[in-house]
Amino acid sequence: MHRLIRDHLEEILGDSERTARVGEHLRDCEECRSEVAAMRKQAALLQSWRAPAAEAEPRAGFYARVIERIEAQGPASIWNLFFESAFGRRIAVASMALALLLGVYLVTSEQSAEQAAVTAPATQLLPGEDGPGQVLAPSGAPDQDSVLVNLVTYREQ
């Protein structure tokens, strides 16, 4: 099909007035004439499948019913996902259970840390004669770590 016919194809198929150049081209060109004829047959076939105008109109009150359904549905929200589906409810319950467990863990770990601080054995720092003091364990014996610290920090006088 030539460009001239392709550019004016809607006018040709719509049977509107054609320009003189298009009419002359269709009379002279057998290829374009046969393609336009095939397209007209296809357009007629498609129009024959179209429902009559009386059947295409919706029943009375159709639009009002559609608007009522839209208004009844309400706005879509992310919370609808959780509360309207079984999967969403399960996720919500699992999340709440996890939050509860984490809260219980944090509260009990803080209490145990406070109790450990209260019940920690007191160490005594005994002053030495020429150097730093010596740390004693609760039993009264020198603590091994404190002995090493004393040896490292010992200064000869």
pLDDT > 90 in the chain, percent: 10
| DSSP class per residue in 74-132 | ----HHHHHHHSHHHHHHHHHHHHHHHHHHHHHHHHHHHHHHHHHHSPP-EEEPPSSSS
Judge whether residue 15 has pLDDT over 70. Answer: no
Residue 39 to residue 44: CA distance in whole angstroms? 9
Q: What is the mean pLDDT of residues 85-108?
A: 90
Question: In this model, does residue 28 exceed pLDDT 60?
Answer: yes
Collapsing DSSP to helix, strand or coil, 139 comes out as coil
pLDDT score at 157: 44
pLDDT in tens, 31-80: 888 988 898 898 888 888 876 666 667 788 888 999 998 888 777 777 77
Mean residue pLDDT of the chain comes to: 75
Interval 137-149 mean pLDDT: 62
pLDDT value for 54:
61
Going by C-alpha positions, the residue among 117, 115, 96 that lies closest to residue 107 is 115
